[in-house]
């Protein structure tokens, strides 16, 4: 999925976050000024934090932004920041009554991405884990929590190595032997060549991940 990284500059953070749940929030505001950079600056200057407390931010137009690194402990739910991921939704869902389809669909993609990265981790509203009314009385929490993750993805390799030292070609027959029975597409750019597979069940994707070792780059959805 497309996650926009604005390369935010953080102060000192605490590392060692191992996500085992997702906590969703609303920012209680909306509009063109409520960018990820604005929230980042506000959390720095007004709260005295290292930067934005959330790990991801989903805007009303469906765009998804990266906040804190996943492996940095967040600042989004007191007493429940460690080993969680904070996902913030643009909007004041005490006033707003309907979540735009594009925002909801981006959440579905993000949940699929995160659950395939960390396992089928549960989702909670802020109010279920902290002293808060967040994410708002009209936030479709049950719908957001019950999203079924996509059961298919495709495997992307790293740039493939040359057949042998001093030769700039790839032994494609040897490479494809690792993908027995799987349709593969060869792609390339100025940096090199890589393989993308057909859509596969996630069990097969993870099997290929193990088989490919250092050749594996990522599973896409």
pLDDT for position 77: 98
pLDDT for position 150: 67
Give per-residue pLDDT as tens, 127-150: 999 999 999 999 999 999 998 876
Helix-, strand-, coil-residue percentages of the chain, each rounded to 5: 25, 25, 50
**CB-CB contact of 122 with 22 (8 Å):** yes
pTM of the model: 0.72
**CB-CB contact of 49 with 75 (8 Å):** yes
Task: State the CB neighbour count (10 A cutoff) for residue 76.
Answer: 26
Largest Cα span, the chain: 65
Q: Where in the chain is the domain with CATH 3.40.80.10?
A: 3-145
CATH code of the domain occupying 152-220: 3.30.70
pLDDT (tens digit, 0 to 9) for every residue of the chain, 221 residues total? 789 999 999 999 999 999 999 999 999 999 999 999 999 999 999 999 999 999 999 999 999 999 999 999 999 999 999 999 999 999 999 999 999 999 999 999 899 889 888 988 999 999 999 999 999 999 999 999 998 876 678 899 999 999 998 898 999 999 999 999 899 999 999 999 999 999 888 889 989 999 999 999 998 87
SS3 for 30-61 is CCCCCCHHHHHHHHHHCCCCCCCCCCEEECCC
Tokens 């040359």 belong to which residue? 162
CATH architecture of the domain formed by 3-145: 3-Layer(aba) Sandwich (3.40)
**CB-CB contact of 153 with 116 (8 Å):** yes
Point out which residues pair with 220 in neighbouring strands.
Answer: 154
Q: Among residues 64, 8, 78, 76, which one has the least CA distance to residue 40?
A: 8
- d(C-alpha 146, C-alpha 197), whole Å: 29
Give per-residue pLDDT as tens, 164-202: 988 989 999 999 999 998 999 999 999 999 999 998 888
Q: Where in the chain is the domain with CATH 3.30.70?
A: 152-220
């Amino acid at each position: 999925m497309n996650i926009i990284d604005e390369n935010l500059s953080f102060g000192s953070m605490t590392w060692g976050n191992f996500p085992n749940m997702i906590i969703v929030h609303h920012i209680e505001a909306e509009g063109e000024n409520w960018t990820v950079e604005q929230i980042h600056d506000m959390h720095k200057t007004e709260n005295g934090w290292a930067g934005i407390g959330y790990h991801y931010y989903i805007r009303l137009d469906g765009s998804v932004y990266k906040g804190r690194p996943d492996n940095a402990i967040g600042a989004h739910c007191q007493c429940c920041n460690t080993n969680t991921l904070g996902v913030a939704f643009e909007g004041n869902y005490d006033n707003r009554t309907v979540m735009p389809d594009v925002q909801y669909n981006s959440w579905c993609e993000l949940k699929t991405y995160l659950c395939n990265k960390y396992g089928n981790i549960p989702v909670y509203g802020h109010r279920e884990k902290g002293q808060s009314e967040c994410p708002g009385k009209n936030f479709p929490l049950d719908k957001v929590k019950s999203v079924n993750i996509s059961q298919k993805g495709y495997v992307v390799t790293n740039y493939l190595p040359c057949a042998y030292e001093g030769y700039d070609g790839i032994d494609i027959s040897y490479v494809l032997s690792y993908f027995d029975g799987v349709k593969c597409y060869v792609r390339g750019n100025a940096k090199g060549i890589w393989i993308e597979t057909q859509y596969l069940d996630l069990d097969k994707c993870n099997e290929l991940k193990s088989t490919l070792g250092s050749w594996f780059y990522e599973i896409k959805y």
